[in-house]
Structure 1
């Protein structure tokens, strides 16, 4: 069992963030010791890692909470609802990859332009409109 500071280091989340998730009842296996301190077992650490993963994807807390509740609800209906949430996140992640690739392509175009200017093959323009459309 880990104290909150130890759990924080293990999952690389701020203590305040973990407290917030705990207040939202997003860590189902969370225990407290006789001094009423939060104690984190391996399952609680797994929940925190899962929450962190979903937050990094940009998943709203409300959907993460829904997913956690569904994980604790037996039956095919809850499994299907969890599946739908994951598919939605997959689609969003794919869109993020497409947008990231567009940004990378544009960044590479701008670097190529700057290299041409550095080598003297193109003139440097102080005009933002011309610089971004060259």
Structure 2
């Protein structure tokens, strides 16, 4: 859906220009709140909107079985919009829902970089040893 794509682009832009600040989510505490049954959440970040709803971007794994009985792993990135004042999922967009699935993978990498302050750490090392 076109609005999903524009929404992901807005999250990307807001994160890149620093207007959206993400916090890492304690996934052990919120297990099953925003994810689907069978998903193993690897990492999750959230942003709280103006109406107390939360936007959660997370990477998950699922273990599936093919038609020959062989198990395989599928990784996805999702954006979940939650109900106000909770982490209960109200709506979810998955990378497979988008024309360009890599846009959510790129978004979670940018969020992870921002939340971990990786650029500050890299700048400190660069400034110390190369200048």
Alignment TM-score > 0.5, same fold: no
Q: Which structure dedicates a bigger proportion of its chain to helix?
A: 1
Greater RCO (Cα-Cα under 8 Å, separation 6 or more)? 2
- TM-score of the aligned structures, taking structure 1 as reference length: 0.31
Whichever structure has more strand as a proportion of its residues is 2
Larger radius of gyration between Structure 1 and Structure 2: 1
